Structure 1
Amino acid sequence: MYHFTDGGLRNVWLQNGYELKNTAYGETVSIQDIDGLVTAVCVAITRKKSKLTGAEFRYIRSAMLLSQASMGKALGRTEQAVAIWEKSGRIPKYADILLRVLYAQHSNGDEKVKDIIHAMNDAERTIHLVMKETSKGWSSTESSEDLLCVA
């Protein structure tokens, strides 16, 4: 069995689905379906009966591509608060529950939840609205690139 320690996890072992290889740099592991494994690990973590550890909280959050800042905003807390939870392992009960529910709905393909998560991720980017006057009036497009101010 292979001890899967991705993302700081300590309690996950792989029975199969991997291959150990010797390279010039030492032994490496090749996982055949890493995306499927990450999803399965997250689902298993969200269904476990005990509280989430800091590493588990971080693993699920990262699997949804949420930053600590985005997670903090969603929970009404700061980025630093989320970092402390993940490092100390003292996750507030409401944050534990909310993250499990968000991931469960996200992994089940709930488009509304996916849209919310994408919006949370997008909140970290600076979005510029580019306004253009046309014969039908003003229209807008979004750009996340830095724009030069032209006078």
Structure 2
Amino acid sequence: MYCYRGVGLDNVYLQNGYTTRTLSSGEEAVSIHDLEGLHAAIARELVEMSGEMDGKIFRFLRKYADMAQRAVAELMDVTVLTVSNWERDVHPVPTAAALLLRGLVKEILSGNAELKKAVDRCNQLDRKMRELERLQFADTEHGWQRAA
């Protein structure tokens, strides 16, 4: 049995589906068959778990959803530092944040990521709105002017 820590979780064990070999340095190397499938199986189990979500699970699911901390922070209207604190278990993951992330990952696993697409689109629109609010200036031959 192999304790798989490659996703940052301490409680994932593989009964099979991997091969090991000893390198010339004497270290043991492990090759996991169908790594993408393994990660999907782990994600499926984690989104169905009830109760509080710890930081390691939150980080795994965020990465599985292919979302940066910044994207999650924007989605949940918190700072990147807040997301980082959740993931490092400095502060508990709020129930609402856990439910939203579980919902996003469930959609991804089902092959229907419409909610994630909508969230991504909202984030894009929000960034554009912030860009429009931003006053940018350029030093031109006529002096400082608002940049286009």
Tell me the TM-score normalised to structure 1 length.
0.74
Match of 2:59 in 1: 58
Residues in 2 aligned to 1:39 and 1:56: alpha-carbon distance in whole angstroms: 13
1:1-150 → structure 2 map (5 Å cutoff): 1-25=1-25, 26-88=27-89, 90-116=92-118, 118-119=120-121
Aligned counterparts of 1:95 and 1:51: Cα–Cα separation in 2: 11
Higher strand share: 1
Is the 1:57–1:96 Cα contact (8 Å) retained in structure 2? yes
Ranges in structure 2 where 5+ consecutive residues have no aligned partner: 129-148
Q: Using the alignment, how far apart are the partners of 2:76 and 2:69 within structure 1?
A: 11
Offset, 1:65: 1.2
What is the number of residues matched between the two proteins? 125
Gapped regions of structure 1 (runs ≥ 5): 127-151
User: Shift in Å at residue 19 of structure 1?
Assistant: 1.0
Q: CA deviation at 1:119?
A: 4.1
Residues 66 and 120 in structure 1, CA contact (< 8 A), matched pair in contact too: no
Query: What is the DSSP-based 3-state SS (H/G/I as helix, E as strand, rest coil) of the residue aligned with 1:104?
Result: helix
Partner Cα distance (2:65, 2:118) in 1: 11
For 1:86 and 1:42, locate their aligned partners in 2 and report how far apart those are by CA, in whole Å: 16
TM-fit CA distance, 1:113: 2.5
Identity of aligned residues (%): 30
Matched letter for residue 7 of structure 2: G
TM-score, normalised via structure 2 length:
0.76
Deviation >6 Å, runs of 4+: 120-123
SS at match of 2:42: helix
**Which is further off, 38-47 or 89-98?**
89-98
Cα RMSD (Å) = 2.2
